[in-house]
Amino acid sequence: MRPLEGIRILDFTHVLAGPFCTRLLADMGADVVKVNSAKRAAANNAPSSPYYAIWNRNKRALALDMSHDRANDVARSLANQADVVIDNFSLGVLDRWGIGYEEVSASNDQVIYVQMSGMGGGGPWSDFVTYAPTIHALAGLTYMTGVPDGGPIGLGFSYNDHQAGLHGAVAILSAIEARRQTGKGQQVDLAQFEVGTAMIGVSLLDYFVNGREAHPCGNRVPYDKFAPHGCFLCRPDGDDILEERWLAIVCRDEGEWNALCSVMGDPEWCRADSFSTAELRCENAEALDRYVNEWTSEMDANELMYTLQEAGVPAGVVQTGIDLAETDPQLKSHEFIRFMDEPHPGLGETFADRLPIYFEKTPCDTYKRSRMLGEDNVSVLADWLGMSEEEVRTGEEAGYLT
């Protein structure tokens, strides 16, 4: 038995942040019913999309066309049976469908509603249309991800969506615990923008405490005296630029610095006055990086990582997706990447990155493929509402369960 079995979640989320949140809960045993419709099942919201398949495993699929009044009635009945209702639409969509928190909580006072909008409720930007790159930009993440005088680069992937999903899962678990103590549900407003702003916390702290304004700093850290601190080019695997290999190396104190010098063979430049203290190494970081890079450029990245780790120097290969999926020994030993329990009807054999949480007593090792549109109409509506298969098929023919 998984930890969250018995918890019912009615999931109106789409794209990444919301689906990732509910995927975590589904992995831990919650009965997550993913609501979609033929009209909305396009692009990344289409069950045949690999993107959709990744974020919607372990959930059941219900097709509801909310433009039909009868679909609204069904959704209202489902919400009355739910422990959690979650969406990441723009504000007010569920209210317009007649299944908002105020309406449903009047008949289901234990329900927990989670709204994961971009900007949250209220405020001058609450109606903004947001997406990961715009959230990153507004929250300061894009500005901080770059090199000095190089212009903002950005993160290149939906980092804040993942963080918002984690926050959403924690919010739901916290609200369930609060309900256990009070007997009442509640509404939760989660602003993805504020999640992103919180993720630059060290930079904010440096400003509040020391009055230093944060600037893009590449691989350097302005609030610690660590040097070397960066990624260093190693011997490539071939002539193609895609076969370059890099190694991240950090020296946080004199012990690690001396260990690095020893592994390098104690070259004369290591004992220069300009590198004699952590502060001086930081002041002369560019020269230091050039020396270290000359040494690493002839070395195999993986072999050097093990050598440095054995000497007590933090080092890690800059791994590619292929490294992670095919050769990483740590992930392999934990079976972190595995195939789904059954092939996907449209995509064939698909993989899962396992839940990175290991429960001793209640293991979460079930990984069911994402479901096709309306594939679970009968089982969901029977389990939650007691509807017969004949009633469900009638609804499908009428067009509101599709």
Q: Which positions are annotated as active-site residues?
A: 161
Q: At what angle do helices 301-311 and 254-263 cross, to 10 degrees?
A: 130
Token look-up 């959709």 returns: 52
Alpha helices in 183-243 (DSSP H): 192-198, 201-210
| DSSP string of 76-140, one letter each residue | HHHHHH-SEEEE-SSTTHHHHTT-SHHHHHTT-TT-EEEE--SS-SSSTTTT----HHHHHHHHT
Q: In the numeric block, which tokens belong to residue 333? A: 């030993």
Q: Which whole-number Å values give the CA distances from 157 to 129, 148, 163, 168, in the listed order?
A: 18, 21, 12, 19
The amino acid at residue 331 is L
Task: Catalogue the E-assigned strands of 12-57.
Answer: 31-36
Burial label for 232, CB within 10 Å (0-12, 13-18, 19+), is buried
Q: In the numeric block, which tokens belong to residue 287? A: 């020269």
3-state SS class at 176: helix
CB atoms within 10 A of CB 142: 19
